[in-house]
Every structure is written in structure tokens, then in C-alpha cells.
Structure 1
Amino acid sequence: MAHDIKLVTETELRRVVPLDLEAIDCIETAFAKLATGKVVMPPVMSMALPDINAEVDVKTAFVPGLDGFALKVSPGFFNNPSLGLPSLNGLMVLLSARTGLVDAVFLDNGYLTDVRTAAAGAVAARHLAPATVSTIGVLGTGVQAKLQLIATAKVRPARNALIWGRDAGKAEQLADEMTALLGIEVKACADRADLVAQSQVVITTTPSKEPILDADWLHEGLHITAMGSDQEDKNELHPSILARADVLVCDRISQCELLGELRSALETGALEDKNRAAELGNVIAGTGNGRQSEDDITVCDLTGTGVQDTAIATLALGKVRRTNAGTTVTA
């Protein structure tokens, strides 16, 4: 029997799947479902290829109630820029949850991953940041620095934002771009401690292997979302930050203790018990503790989960079908 498959390019996906409140709500719902214990989500298959300066991650999750489930392949080949190619690419395959047949292939080059990652940051801010945010601080100048600021501003509208980067020129350039895009004052900030002091929400978006955020900079009411660490050699937060936080939340504890900031805190002994952490899905569902007061210091450790990929791929297919985007092939 013939079966129709949607084949959709990055260009078409960028047109029909924007980073908006619908995408943020989609990811929030996915995390809430993860808290039910009924989602089937295996550990990340991560393949490090140091000899060629590359890595490949594969993520998936089966979510009861959704029509499909995604298999996401994310290669990172970090010598590519010298060849005139992007370092990150990849694709998602959406399979029917009823038959296992392929419903869609998204040749997104990581775009859907970018959207769902930024949306998770917004979900964390929605549930853990103080109610009033005047300044958002971002460490990093890449794609996620831009998208995390856009997404966070949708759930915590701020008057100002600050951006720090190792390359001051890139920080200035991104600040100018974000000022024009968001209509708020966005400035580059050369001093990380000063950025933290002025901000109520701080988002770290770098691939750093050494802490770029110091525990001495913490202040009452601060929320930190750390999303750069997704490999066992990465670390953006000084490990004692997790120990000092009043509220510590992970997207998936079992994953964060292997790949995230939680790993560094446990390995160094700064944090002795991973059970201090709650999972974001439980906070959303009300079965885990989030921010209890405006003075709390809250930290969210995001490593990226397969349930996000299944959720964003399902949302994307619905939008593709409604707009008749993509190419239909019959297999």
C-alpha cells in the first residue's frame, strides 16, 4: 500500500514554524507529559569523534497521545567552517505512533532543534524567573544567545538586555540586532559580574569547558538558565552555584548528571545529592517545587531532551499540512 511522506526543507520550516508562544506552549506541554512517567525516552546516543573534531547525537521519545514520534540526528563537525560549511546540521524523521511508518522527513539543518531549545529556556523562565524582570542577561553571541533572548522576552517582557561574548565585536553586533528586533535597549557588557548584578534572568549559551559564571556573583531573586552544557566535557556554571541555589531544576536528572551542569557539581563534590534537583516537567505539573519567593535563587540545567524533539516535530507536521508546505513523496 502506498504511503505519503512529507519532505520539508529548512527554508519552508523557517516560514511555517516560528519561535512564538505556540512553540513555547508546545514544549511546556511536552515537559508536563514527561512528568507523568508514561513517556518512553531512552538516553541520548552520543558519539564523540575527537580525531575529526566532531560529535553526533541521536535523540528520540515516544509520547502517548501524540500521533507521531521523532528520531533526531544532530551532527556537529567543527572543522566545517574552514570548508565554507556550517558546523551544525542534521535532520528529524517523524514516524507514525500507530504504524511506525515515516510521516515526514524534516531537512531542517538543526532549525527545529534551535526552536525547541529556545522554547525550553522560555518555559524555564516562565516557571522559575521572578514575576517582574527588568533586565535579561545573556552570555554568548551565537544562534542560541539570540533565540534564548527572543523566547525569554516573550514570557518575561523586559526593558533592557545585556550581552557578553568572548568576542566584544560580536556582542556589540548582536546587541544592535536585538535592539532593532525586540524594540528594547540591548547593550554589550564587557564584565560578566556586572551583567549578572544588573540582571534578574541570566542565560548561558556557550560551549565552554570552564565555568564562565561565578558563585560570588549570585544575588537574591536571580534566575539562571544554563543550556550550553550537553556533553560530558562542558561546564558553564561554577559547581558551587548549584549547591547555593534555593531551587535547582533539570530538564532530565538522569541526563544532566551525565552531560549537564549537574554532572560537574556532583563530580567536584560541590553538590552531594542529585535528589536536591527537581525536573522541569514536575515543576510545570505542580509535583515539584519551583520558585517559592521573589528572593529565591533558581537554576535550571537544560541538556535538551528527545521529548522536545517529538513535540516540535509533531507541531511542525501539523503546520506543514495546514499550509501545504513541503513536497509529498509516495513510498
Structure 2
Amino acid sequence: MPSTLLLTQTEIETLLDDGELFQQLKDGFAALAKAGPELRGRRFPVLLNAADTDAAGMVLAPGLIPGIPAYTVKVNAKFPSQPPAIKGLVILHSLQDGAILALLDSGYLTARRTAAAGAVGADTLARPDSETVSVIGCGVQGYAQLEWMLKIRPIKNIFVYDTVPGQVQAFVERARSEFDVPVVTCDSAKQAAGKGDIVITATWAREPFLFCGDVRPGTHITTLGPDGPGEAEVAADLLTASLFFADDADLQIEMGAIGGAGLGAEAISATIGEVLAGQKTGRKSPDDITIYGMVGLPFEDLAAGWLVYNKALKSGAGSQIDLAA
């Protein structure tokens, strides 16, 4: 049995290039729309009887992209009250014989691929002249999304809100030290949402907190929180008054923003892949409110993992282990 490459978070941080990942995901979404359901992969959530009442296990498999001779299986534990909230492993297999090519820490990899996937959606749907961004949920993913928004749009003002004051303070201090853009704290999610041309929601909410009338015409919303049954950030009235785009339509109904609001397929305008592939239309006018709902797809793990794996082979990074020894 061939040896397996073991890659730690620190090694992945050094190897993963956000620009390359962005393009790989953009191409992957379009390829997925053209290829059909056989490449979609699945998410398998399991609630856990643990001290953290929101604790869950999650398996994403298989991660497939046309042209890449490998696939991924990811096993994650989600414990929101025990940072880091996401802990797990991405397993990279050979598509030819199933050999385990690499084992990768999933925390950082998941955060970066999720951030890049969110950026693909926002770049595709948000108005080109968007100048303000509001972040609701000042955790790891909220900050990662903010970093991307400053790369893809000419952002001049940042607004933030979180229910935990300490989270807001740390977020604001970091943003002010890293970006030459004013950062303003808000008193409520509604206040923050009303100020953003782009609104990022990255919370653990199980009840919606954004409603019709909370955002201005022309706003783009990326809702990241709902990725399991019973989770919700955006209310049904705002979802139905907007153009909603899914990373995966079926999964959005099963465990995403659409299902969390009690809606069905009729509320989905298209998938982001269909827009990128030219099969469906995205934003139709500057006044449209667009929403991009993400549950996170298995192919995103392959996109990130394959990039890191090949760079590691070239640079000699990581450790080789023989799992059959």
C-alpha cells in the first residue's frame, strides 16, 4: 500500500493560495451544473447527545470534480461552544484505486474554501459598485468573508454586529489593524443589514433575524449559517421577495436557508453553478435583492485539498506515513 501524506493546519496555511482556490471553485461550480447530479456528492449530518446542545457530526462525500483523478471524504465535528467550532479531517483518495493519498486537517481548509465559495457567489451576484459590507456574526467565517469582500469590491465602509460583545470587539480591532477602511459597530442585525450593499450572515442562529424591509433595494446577502436541519437566518418573506441562488438546490431545501424558512423549490431562482455556466440568469437589475445560500459542497473540499496536495508534493511539505504498517 502506498504511503499517505499527512498535512497539518500550519502546513496547509502555507500551501493554500486563495486566488487559485477561487478560480478552481468557480470552474467547479460551472462544471457541476453541466455534469448533472452524479457529481453532486452528499452531506450527512448527525446530531450528537453532547454537552454542547448544538453539537453535530457531519460527513461530506464524495468530493468530485471532472478532470481531477481523486475524490475526498470529509468527517467533521461541529461544537459551536468549544472553539475551534469545526474540527475534523479531509481524506484524499485516488479515484483509480482508492488509495489514501493524503490526510488533511479540515479546520483551516474548510474555513478557506467556504470563504472562497462565498466570494464566488458575491462576485457573481453583488452589484459591481457595491461599496459597503455588513457582517453579522463576528466569528472565523465572518472575518474570512470580509477579507474576500475587500478583494472583489471597492469597499469603503464596514459595519458589524454580533450578539456577543467580546466577539465584536476582537473582530473590530483586528479589522481596523489590517484594513484601511472605517469599521463601525451596530446595535442590531437589522441596523447592520440596512447599511450594507453586501450583507454577510455567518451565525449559529436557529430563528430568522433578517426580514423583508431590513435591507435596501439592490442589496446582496450571503447566508452561511444554515447548513443543517432547523437552522435559519433569513425569514421567508425576505427570501421570497428576493432572487435566491443556491450552491445546491436539493440541499438548500433539505438543510439550508430555504428549508429552514419552510420554503421549497419554488423559492430558488437558480444554482450559482447554473449562472456561472450561462444556463440561468443571475442579477437582472441594480434594484434586485439577491441572496446566495450556501450549505457547503463536497467538491469544494477536493478543490482545496487537491491544490494543497500537489503543492506539498512539489515542495516536500508534510509527513509520509504508512497506514498499513
The normalised TM-score by structure 1 is 0.91
Counterpart residue type for residue 168 of structure 1: P
* Alpha-carbon shift at residue 272 of structure 1 (Å): 5.8
Change (3 A) 1:272 1:31: closer
Counterpart Cα distance in 1 of 2:237 and 2:132: 24
* SS class of match (1:232): coil
Correspondences of 1:1-331 after superposition (within 5 Å)? 2-18=1-17, 20-38=18-36, 39-53=38-52, 54-60=55-61, 61-78=63-80, 81=82, 86-106=84-104, 108-245=105-242, 247-265=243-261, 267=262, 271=263, 273-274=265-266, 276-330=268-322
* Alpha-carbon shift at residue 113 of structure 1 (Å): 0.6
* Alpha-carbon shift at residue 42 of structure 1 (Å): 3.4
1:204-240 deviations in Å (ceiling 9; x for gaps): 0001011121212132110000010011111001111
Runs ≥4 residues deviating over 6 A:
none
Counterpart Cα distance in 1 of 2:211 and 2:49: 29
* SS class of match (2:86): coil
Change (3 A) 1:42 1:105: same
1:28-84 deviations in Å (ceiling 9; x for gaps): 1221111112552332111111355321100022222112111111112356x3xxx
* SS class of match (1:161): strand
Counterpart Cα distance in 2 of 1:151 and 1:226: 15
1:85-119 deviations in Å (ceiling 9; x for gaps): 6442101010112221111111x241111111111
Identity %: 30
Instruction: Note if contact 2:7-2:319 (Cα within 8 Å) is conserved in structure 1.
Output: yes
1:173-198 deviations in Å (ceiling 9; x for gaps): 21121122222222222232232222
Instruction: Note if contact 2:132-2:195 (Cα within 8 Å) is conserved in structure 1.
Output: yes
Decide which moves more: 31-40 or 148-157: 31-40
Counterpart Cα distance in 1 of 2:134 and 2:275: 23
* SS class of match (1:215): coil
Counterpart Cα distance in 1 of 2:292 and 2:79: 28
Counterpart Cα distance in 2 of 1:134 and 1:78: 31
Counterpart Cα distance in 1 of 2:50 and 2:175: 37
Unmatched tracts of structure 2, length 5 or more: none
* Alpha-carbon shift at residue 275 of structure 1 (Å): 6.2
Counterpart Cα distance in 2 of 1:8 and 1:186: 36
Change (3 A) 1:275 1:213: closer
Counterpart Cα distance in 2 of 1:225 and 1:90: 25
* SS class of match (2:22): helix
Instruction: Note if contact 2:226-2:260 (Cα within 8 Å) is conserved in structure 1.
Output: no
When the two chains are superposed, the root-mean-square deviation of aligned CA atoms in Å is 1.8
* SS class of match (1:162): strand
Counterpart Cα distance in 2 of 1:98 and 1:49: 35
1:105-160 deviations in Å (ceiling 9; x for gaps): 11x24111111111111001110000011111000011001101112221123111
Counterpart Cα distance in 1 of 2:306 and 2:281: 29
Number of residues paired by the alignment? 319
The normalised TM-score by structure 2 is 0.92
Instruction: Note if contact 1:125-1:156 (Cα within 8 Å) is conserved in structure 2.
Output: no
Change (3 A) 1:87 1:288: same
Counterpart Cα distance in 1 of 2:117 and 2:67: 21
Counterpart Cα distance in 2 of 1:273 and 1:253: 7
Counterpart Cα distance in 1 of 2:76 and 2:264: 32
Instruction: Note if contact 1:8-1:326 (Cα within 8 Å) is conserved in structure 2.
Output: yes
